[in-house]
Amino acid sequence: MASARLRLLWPVLSFIRGPLGTGARVPPLLQHSYPHAVAPPPCFARHYATKKSKAKAKGQAAKVNISAALVEDLINLEEVQEDMMAVLATLKDDFSRNLGIRTSPGALDHILVNTKDGKFPLNQLGQVSMKSPQLIVVNMTSNPEATESATRALQGSSMKLNPEVEGTIIRVPIPKVTREHRENLAKLAKHFSNKAKESIRRVRSSALTGMKKTKEGISEDTIRLIEKQVQQMTDNCIADIDKQLAVKTKELLG
């Protein structure tokens, strides 16, 4: 008899308990009939760190930010930063001077012209305008005496131009930019970038070598902190170089 009653109550008891781990609640109607029925506690899942997240956390080195004033007797961090910024400025100038696509008047702005009063950018001596996609005209009326020097500067530039002179007017035919030419410019951009990275690393090496020579008795902890700071500056500049190269390469290859 008891087993028969148990079989009759089994569906109700199963509904009250709910499936294991679901955290089912006892319906209000059944709570009145079965006040002592209790739903199982909720099941909490533990989340374990994945290999990817561990590797990411391991790869993130703690940043260092040393006050330049506190270590000025050991190393001039501001001067190191200025030297590295000068390298970045030189790279930007190299990109502008030597990697022009020759499709706008501004492509000739970087060309320097030797005059009796010194060196001046072409656009300061003459009026540069684009007559067509294949022709740039330089009007030297305001400085006619510099026409010959400007012509030589155009001929000697890395852009392989063949200017034609008519009085004080210099006509500059623009050769069609081929895919091969674009690829060569992209390779040159890579060369300039690698050269800049080498210069940045030389600045870092020189700074650290000078620090160790000028001051004896420096604690190992202090040396490590300064080395990390300088390396951090180096990494930031190299990242900037890579960014400039990516932008320039995309511009060159289209």
Say if residues 163 and 172 touch (Cβ distance below 8 Å). Answer: yes
What residue type is assigned to position 115 of the chain?
A: T
- Give bridge partners of residue 115 from the DSSP assignment: 118
pLDDT for res 111: 86
DSSP codes, 192-232: HHHHHHHHHHHHHHHHHHHHHHH-SS--HHHHHHHHHHHHH
Confidence at residue 16, expressed as pLDDT on a 0 to 100 scale: 46
- Are residues 123 and 166 in contact, defined by beta-carbon separation less than 8 angstroms? no
Crossing angle of helices 179-214 and 220-253, in 10° steps, is 170
The partner residues of 132 in beta bridges, in order of sequence, read 135
What is the pLDDT at residue 67?
A: 56
Distance CA 234, CA 206 (A): 12
pLDDT in tens, the chain (254 residues): 545 554 554 554 454 444 444 444 444 444 444 444 444 444 444 445 455 544 444 445 567 666 555 566 677 889 999 999 999 999 998 887 777 766 566 778 778 899 988 999 998 999 998 888 788 999 999 999 999 999 999 998 867 789 999 999 999 998 777 788 788 889 999 999 999 999 999 999 998 888 777 666 677 788 888 889 999 999 999 999 999 999 999 988 87
Where does the chain have alpha helices with state H?
2-17, 28-33, 51-59, 77-98, 122-125, 147-156, 179-214, 220-253
Predicted local distance difference test score (pLDDT) of residue 246: 96
Q: Cα–Cα distance between 22 and 226 in angstroms, integer?
A: 56
CB atoms within 10 A of CB 180: 8
Q: What is the reported pLDDT for 181?
A: 79
What's the pTM?
A: 0.56
DSSP, collapsed to helix, strand or coil, labels residue 188 as helix
Q: Which pLDDT value is given to residue 72?
A: 63
Q: Are 77 and 66 in contact (CB under 8 A)?
A: yes
